[in-house]
Chain A
């Protein structure tokens, strides 16, 4: 297919200022067990080509599944017709990039598509069984997913590259109901579990059956736990919820297309302005955040992004100060940056690339272990596993809930508290960051449901995070 794309780009060369084409083949298998029954086994195979052109500053995109020479040429013609229908305007410069060449492949020890369906079902049914027993558990769910993506990319600037990656993961959820109260507990994380750029070995390492009993027990225990107390307090947040906090209030806020207002129609803008780069204090001195598309095993890892820019590691926040943003060739050029940070990604062949955060991570600090972080709290709360999330379209005012809270007294974890809610304003919240866990606590958390763009696109992203402690957090009743 690469030869076909290169030929297509040769044909596009004289008809537009720039063009690129991606062939994407994606296979996905998802298996869900609910209440001891195999609820769904879904297998999706799709492939197609997306063609993007730029004519007199106007971008256009067309997608097709007709993969013949005529079909590709027709997609190019449609893209050109769309671009030519737009008003002429000055073309902002694209940040320069050397043409992408070569191939890249992500890690995968055990090919999940080579593991039998029976073996996968056996594992999920064992996890389901481990959650069964208490009549207050009204729904048990165990699931796993595997996805293989192969892409080729060519451009009118001479790019011609190929890459392939496998993603795999899973999770379990127990829902408990009694006396009008409903509680949820998940492992290893909310949002259908944890997914990594890896093979079946990642699912095995999650030990879903081994955690089923604990998950069910905690869901039931939460039904009778006292409500979470309200008021400003010190909170220690587990690395999974830190990942979502980071994702929503830093990752999205530092997407340069949002900062420039390009996503105002849907995803929103950002409270951060391009002129804040290098000047804005985002948080306390302990806040160090990096975007890294080279992180092994992470969902936002690749050889090149979807406009052929090499994957790279980009510091975003150093010592609490904003130093970088997530950019494309166009947005980098728009603010005078020398180069794109390589974050353009598309959801399959039928969507055009957007600025999407790669793996945005909180760098470890010197706060020690989770126990060390808790030991420094005389009175406060420990919050674990995201349950609900909401943030405004400038990524400034947020409110999150977690599945579980524990009271902290005298530097020790105490009893369960149910329905914890905390809220804040992004820079004030990160300014209250008091201690960051050490490197030994670092975990990768893979999310697959990050939405952006119109038509809608989902992207996978991992966050390397550690538990962290925050002062004077607004904890609310729910």
Chain B
């Protein structure tokens, strides 16, 4: 469905709802191609849409989602949303302050016509190019190429109407070399044409085929260790995305559950760390507005190591009290139970020319390409555990050394940022490739960094 059709559906849904209401209509076209064991394994072409209708009554909300756009389906969804809000309101006044007032949104450069109209052959060609590059390097390849366009239309009973069309493309490659060595590389951009699948495959292959050596044990037989670490951008982004959820959720902050509850204005990271949520920073995946139609504002989260702000949707801002306002970070109309989230994190780059310069002062340490299966252990301390995956190396005598066995880390993101010594000058976008439900691409723009005392708590066998 195109922009006009979706906006029309959103308008009709609001009309059907009658009272205070907001509707978000979202249409998606996604093409995904996957490969494994050096051959294509999956190709999918998904076209779907949905209309979410939010009704608000006496500070309570009801949300219903329709999978059709005919008047009957929209009226049914509006009725169910209304009934839910009314039933909730029987318990007394709620804390939802009402659908946001109309605020014009700015345009952005997150749309690429070629990506929005791509043909199936382009997915197959991307996979073929990557496979050919891996074959030259003599490694087995797995990976995923995906591109899509998402159109969003918002209408509300307060007269707000807005539309946004964005595109994104992602390619990731997992190379499997000799002796079980594995490498990883990935790129994300707003335009499919900005990604060179062969180059990404080459980069992954390079990490899976180092000159020589069996995999070393970074713990050297100990149960635990603390090592200097260089985290590549993919690893940094994973940690920052968790930090975004654990520290900058304005609702958790207001309820005392956030890692930054009571700590705004305090030093929480090294002075070289400046983190923001910047929807228009070069290289991000921009959005004109959030799930409630509120334009996304750039927010300094950590400035020169000092915690500054958290992000809000209208519900969390109301809960936070005087002075708080939505910053355009709602993930669901009415605000998600999990709270608002930053989705355009940007970690400012530092002074190092490249990762090699980051490694230079390290006599013995660890280089980590990416992290896997990360989960929080203690949310108020941003203490996480996870494992390294594909592309873990020892740093020996200031240079990348032997490939290392995958290790488990158990460490606090804020501690790592407090122990960060320097970062590379150049950053890149690290996007998520996972869409559980409708396509919603987001990512983190970040450099690689060097930190002291990365806490390792286990090593995998073999």
Residues of B within 8 A of A182 (CB): 257, 378-380
Within B1-53, the residues touching A (CB, 8 Å) are: 30-32, 34-37, 39-50
Interface residues on chain B, number (Cβ under 8 Å)? 89
Q: Nearest CB to that of A25 among chain B residues?
A: B67
Any B CB within 8 A of the CB of A454 = yes
Q: Which of A41, A65, A89, A139 is B257 in contact with, Cβ under 8 Å?
A: A139
User: How far is A118 from B84 in the complex, measured between Cα atoms in Å?
Assistant: 9
Q: Which of A100-108, A310-318, A368-376, A389-397 sits within the interface? A: A389-397
Within A14-66, the residues touching B (CB, 8 Å) are: 32, 34, 37-48, 58-65
Given known A-B contacts A265-B142, A265-B174, A78 and B439 have beta carbons under 8 A apart: no
Q: How large is the interface on A (under 10, 10 to 19, 20 to 34, 35 or more residues)?
A: 35 or more
A40/B257 in contact, CB under 8 A: no
Q: Which of B153-161, B293-301, B306-314, B428-436 sits within the interface? A: B428-436
Any B CB within 8 A of the CB of A341 = no
What distance in Å separates the Cβ of A129 from its nearest Cβ neighbour in chain B?
A: 11
Within A242-270, the residues touching B (CB, 8 Å) are: 260-266, 268
Any A CB within 8 A of the CB of B372 = yes
Given known A-B contacts A46-B65, A390-B387, A423-B458, A455 and B121 have beta carbons under 8 A apart: no
User: How far is A175 from B256 in the complex, measured between Cα atoms in Å?
Assistant: 10
Residues of A within 8 A of B41 (CB): 59, 262
A392/B63 in contact, CB under 8 A: no
Residues of A within 8 A of B63 (CB): 40-43
User: How far is A65 from B66 in the complex, measured between Cα atoms in Å?
Assistant: 12
Residues of B within 8 A of A350 (CB): 46, 48
Residues of B within 8 A of A121 (CB): 87-88, 90-91
B256/A85 in contact, CB under 8 A: no
- Binary interface profile of B, 276-297, with partner A (CB < 8 Å = 1, else 0)? 0000000000000000000000
A389/B375 in contact, CB under 8 A: yes
B44/A352 in contact, CB under 8 A: yes
Any A CB within 8 A of the CB of B461 = yes
Any A CB within 8 A of the CB of B68 = yes
Any A CB within 8 A of the CB of B221 = no
Q: Which of B75-83, B191-199, B346-354 sits within the interface? A: B75-83
Q: Which of B48, B87, B437 is A41 in contact with, Cβ under 8 Å?
A: B87
What distance in Å separates the Cβ of A355 from its nearest Cβ neighbour in chain B?
A: 12
Residues of B within 8 A of A138 (CB): 255-257
Any A CB within 8 A of the CB of B320 = no
What distance in Å separates the Cβ of B235 from its nearest Cβ neighbour in chain A?
A: 15
Any A CB within 8 A of the CB of B377 = yes
B62/A82 in contact, CB under 8 A: no
User: How far is A60 from B127 in the complex, measured between Cα atoms in Å?
Assistant: 14
Any B CB within 8 A of the CB of A421 = yes
B45/A61 in contact, CB under 8 A: yes
Any A CB within 8 A of the CB of B305 = no
B334/A40 in contact, CB under 8 A: yes
B374/A455 in contact, CB under 8 A: no
- Binary interface profile of A, 92-114, with partner B (CB < 8 Å = 1, else 0)? 00000000000000000000000
What distance in Å separates the Cβ of B49 from its nearest Cβ neighbour in chain A?
A: 7
A-B contact pairs, 27 of them (CB 8 A): A37-B60, A37-B95, A39-B337, A41-B63, A41-B85, A47-B67, A48-B48, A48-B67, A61-B42, A62-B47, A63-B47, A65-B67, A79-B45, A82-B120, A138-B257, A177-B380, A263-B36, A265-B142, A392-B460, A393-B372, A393-B387, A397-B387, A397-B406, A397-B458, A451-B434, A454-B34, A456-B435
Other than A32-B337, A45-B77, A392-B387, give 18 A-B pairs with Cβ distance below 8 A.
A38-B88, A40-B334, A40-B336, A46-B50, A46-B67, A58-B40, A65-B67, A85-B123, A87-B40, A261-B36, A264-B142, A389-B375, A393-B373, A399-B457, A419-B377, A423-B408, A455-B146, A456-B437
